[in-house]
Structure 1
Amino acid sequence: MKGLYLVEPVVALYAFSSFLIYPLVQQYVYRRLWQQLTNTTYPINDNTSRCATNGSSSQSAFHREVQQQASLFSLYTELFSTVPSLIVTLMLVAYSDRGGRKITIIMPLIGTLLYTTTILAVSFFELNVYLLIGSSLLSSLFGGLGTFLGGCFAYIADLCEDDRQKTLRMAGVDMMIGLLSGLAAISTGYFLRAAGFNWPFVTSALCQCLILLYAVFILEETVKKPPRDAITSGGSAQPSALKQMLYGVYQMFAGASHRCKTVLILLILIFTSFSFAYMGGTSLVTLYELNEPLCWTEILIGYGAALATTVFLTSFVGVSVFTYCGVPQLVIVLMGILSVLSGLILLGFTKTTLVMFLVRVPMFLAIMPFPVLRSMMSKIISKSEQGALFALLSFLESLTSSVSSAVFNSIYAATVAWYPGFVFLLAAGLCAIPLFFLGVVGLIGVDVPVGREKPEPVYSGEEDPVENLDENSPLLN
């Protein structure tokens, strides 16, 4: 059977299976902590807001205590899983330049499946909820979302020849994530109300098994050359993968002109600083919805999450229309950052259900900067270094996402008693950092060719690339 060069079905089903349980894990942990801390059952009713029937001061104190503990639980989960995931992301995605892109897709799928089955076991047998932290650590050894997306974007970069096609296809991947995650988010509330926590976890695990089979047996590899160092080193491929990672990242900058290196570094700074503000601010939306005065039910949380994921669709439409109309890419990035900035400010002052739904309106272009920045950076470097670039971007995205989640969760735990919306205003203020770097890039200009000053050496896997570096190389200093 001939394989397919379609990675989009993998992304779509992965998004559906992940977002089917992502809001549920937060709610499951919240309910278990409620039971442990209050020695009472979690209040469930059919009202649009639980605050309508539970407005006593004791209930308010319970809410604040559970909010703090749930926020710290998320903090511990991020801290224990961040470092292994980052290391695996760097090594796998950089190694995929020679070893193939599929390994960067298959390994995270295995880790996600292990995490989902652990959640199912904890829920079904009512095990200690803190086992989920250990499960998150175990799954991170297989890579994470950064590894998966880094491999998928490098896979797409292998197949696309012109910049316009690359930008649109990467934006299409982001759109599919949004559409399928939105569909999953709508389903979670009704699924939870009708069948409890176990069946959504089972459904997610079955979807992930299906994805894994597709990735292993149907998805075609884009990198045909086998990793020769894995053969000649007697089975010890890990040191070669580490050298390839260092060598690939070094080569991105070594042969580039000064102007290309400056623009590339500035684009990376825009990407990471914007990711930090956006990911950190939006990671606390579910906790904010569970807190007073909103006190949303699982149905409302599902609708809110589904509405939030429509920004992937609107952002894709925005990228497509603006690209077709010839709008400069920097302007597209600017509109996306301003969209996030306005939405976070409104979110910081939200007190009613109606306004909470309306918050998503100004953020309808929030995802546009990510595919556009990836495409701009991919255009600057050569085709043989796409894996190294996306390994670096995935590493930085995972790092900023994990660090921002930990930072914002700790800030939220400290400020939830006096002003829960403070973290969103802080995230909005941090959007000034990517705006500043964006202005610098606008002054320099981004119409630069691939910055090679001399033919790049071909790394065969037999020699040690680190030993062949010049003694004045910044990588060795």
Structure 2
Amino acid sequence: MEPRASPAAEPHGRARTLVLFRGPVEPLVFLANFALVLQGPLTTQYLWHRFSAEVGYNGTRERGTCSNHSADPKMQEVETLTSHWTLYMNVGGFLVDLFSSTLLGAWSDCVGRRPLLVLASFGLLLQSLISIFVVQLELHVGYFVLGRIVSALLGDFGGLLAASFASVADVSSSHTRTIRMAVLESCIGIGGMLASLLGGYWLQAQGYANPFWLAMALLITMTLYAAFCFGETVKEPTRTRLFTLRHHRSIFQLYMSPAPEKSRKHLALYSLAIFVVITVHFGAQDILTLYELSSPLCWDSTLIGYGSAMHHLTYLTSLLGLRLLQYFLADSWVAEIGLAFNIMGMVVFAFANITPLMFTGYGLLFLSLVITPVLRAKLSKLVSQSEHGALFSAVACVNGLAMLAASGIFNTLYPATLNFMKGFPFLLGAGLLFIPAILIGVLEKMSPRPEFQHFPQS
């Protein structure tokens, strides 16, 4: 781990901030994703059971004949409603996040990473609180959309990731940046894996409410950590207005303004590669729980928890694989290998009709998440240190746009293809992943001149 800026480097205006100790950003990402993954599959299953009760579908898992009811119109109606409300939540969050993440990320270049981390943590906390009200009081499921919008207004998980990756870029050298990005992403995976294992059993034992309460407690802890324990990585924070077009202009200038120290072509094409990869990842993730709940798999909450845990274990296996492969291969080749395994996993998902085959698909994803840390590290080397916040807020915007595209494509395509090939969206995802594979290969051949990566890092 790279040394952080010394307390003496902070200006006098920051000295009044009560900081208990100068902790790293990784615990924030771990706690945030633990809370989100604990809530995510539970929210999907809660929607499934709410709509099942409304349409009068009670399933047949208890008699072991679920696979004989794949054409049940009530089951298809439940699947469609659940898929569409997932889409509404993602679209509502994105439309707000598109404005807030670009504003807040560039703002953090001036005021520091801590204010954005606190805002995003508090927004996730409010979303969790609203989810608890929906589950406990059986409010209309539309309040899930409201919670998503409230969180997006304050930065959401995308804003928290933007500040986190920017803080890592602030204190890492160009040599260590890729592995540092992978370590941060592995915190996402470890948190998600533990939450997945816990959530399935807890749902069966005590229902929906208690896991949401735990998520809220974790988010309270996370908000306090961001406010009082995170070690600021911007050396000289300065006060600046939040609501000004200057922050949005800094995003556009990254891609539009010519400068001798950056390759706009590489910035744009690497961003496109990230967009496609995240679209496939989130699109598949959106429909996986639904795919597993329905026939012919008919998984219960425990199996869904195991599947989600294996999915998040890929963050850790990808970190180990990246560290090992870096001894023998350039980062671009490591990303190409990860894409190859990702494509194979998607193809297996498309044809999985039994549980062992589904877990085989999860196993093939063991290197699938080496791609994004490689791309983020390459992007961060194309801009100056003072532009890290703007860059990663732009990446957060790309992330949000990818989530919107993923929801629009996969959650619309999934119910539309139920009658002729249920796994078709996974095949589409496998095909889309050839786009970043080609882009990374072409960009490696057109690698930027050394001056594009010359910025000294602290």
The change in CA–CA distance for 1:59 and 1:430 in structure 2 (over 3 A counts) is closer
Q: Does 1:364 align with 2:375?
A: no
How many residues align? The count is 437
- Residue 85 of structure 2: SS of its match in structure 1? helix
> What do residues 297-344 of structure 1 show as CA deviations (whole Å, max 9, x unaligned)?
001000110011111011001111122x14111101111111111110
Q: Distance in 1 between matches of 2:92 and 2:223?
A: 25
1:47-446 to structure 2, matched below 5 A, reads: 52-54=64-66, 57=69, 60-160=72-172, 162-230=173-241, 237-239=242-244, 242-247=245-250, 249-251=252-254, 254-257=257-260, 260-323=263-326, 325-446=327-448
- Say if 1:277 and 1:404, in contact at 8 Å, map to a contact too: yes
- Say if 1:278 and 1:340, in contact at 8 Å, map to a contact too: no
- Say if 2:251 and 2:394, in contact at 8 Å, map to a contact too: no
The residue type paired with residue 358 of structure 2 is: M
Give the CA deviation at 1:127. 1.6
Give the CA deviation at 1:449. 2.5
Greater CA drift, 54-63 or 177-186: 54-63
- The structure that has the greater radius of gyration is 1
The change in CA–CA distance for 1:278 and 1:57 in structure 2 (over 3 A counts) is closer
Calculate the TM-score normalised by the size of structure 1.
0.87
The residue type paired with residue 393 of structure 2 is: A
> What do residues 189-243 of structure 1 show as CA deviations (whole Å, max 9, x unaligned)?
110111111111111101110111111111122224344443xxxxxx301xx31
1:459 match: none
The residue type paired with residue 441 of structure 1 is: L
- Say if 1:252 and 1:385, in contact at 8 Å, map to a contact too: no
- Say if 1:257 and 1:452, in contact at 8 Å, map to a contact too: no
Q: 1:22 aligns with which of 28, 33, 40?
A: 40
Q: Distance in 2 between matches of 1:164 and 1:60?
A: 56
Give the CA deviation at 1:164. 2.8
Q: Distance in 1 between matches of 2:162 and 2:335?
A: 20
The change in CA–CA distance for 1:51 and 1:92 in structure 2 (over 3 A counts) is farther
Give the CA deviation at 1:433. 1.4
The residue type paired with residue 260 of structure 1 is: S
Give the CA deviation at 1:443. 2.3
- Say if 1:95 and 1:245, in contact at 8 Å, map to a contact too: no
Give the CA deviation at 1:353. 0.7
Q: Distance in 1 between matches of 2:343 and 2:142?
A: 35
1:457 match: none
- Say if 1:312 and 1:367, in contact at 8 Å, map to a contact too: yes
- Residue 369 of structure 2: SS of its match in structure 1? coil
Q: Distance in 2 between matches of 1:272 and 1:446?
A: 21
1:464 match: none
Gaps of 5+ in 1: 231-236, 454-477
Give the CA deviation at 1:418. 2.4
- Residue 283 of structure 1: SS of its match in structure 2? helix
The change in CA–CA distance for 1:56 and 1:228 in structure 2 (over 3 A counts) is closer
Q: Distance in 1 between matches of 2:286 and 2:229?
A: 34
> What do residues 86-137 of structure 1 show as CA deviations (whole Å, max 9, x unaligned)?
2110010111110111122111211111111111111111222222122222
Greater CA drift, 334-343 or 397-406: 397-406
Calculate the TM-score normalised by the size of structure 2.
0.90
What's the C-alpha RMSD, in Å, of the aligned pairs?
2.1
The residue type paired with residue 214 of structure 1 is: Y
- Residue 363 of structure 2: SS of its match in structure 1? coil
Q: Does 1:8 align with 2:26?
A: yes
- Say if 2:113 and 2:163, in contact at 8 Å, map to a contact too: yes
- Say if 1:179 and 1:312, in contact at 8 Å, map to a contact too: yes
> What do residues 418-456 of structure 1 show as CA deviations (whole Å, max 9, x unaligned)?
211010001111112112212321321245323799xxx
- Residue 232 of structure 2: SS of its match in structure 1? coil
- Say if 2:66 and 2:295, in contact at 8 Å, map to a contact too: no
- Say if 2:37 and 2:196, in contact at 8 Å, map to a contact too: yes
Give the CA deviation at 1:182. 0.4
Greater CA drift, 380-389 or 256-265: 256-265
Q: Distance in 1 between matches of 2:160 and 2:181?
A: 14
Q: Distance in 1 between matches of 2:147 and 2:405?
A: 19
Q: Distance in 2 between matches of 1:326 and 1:51?
A: 53
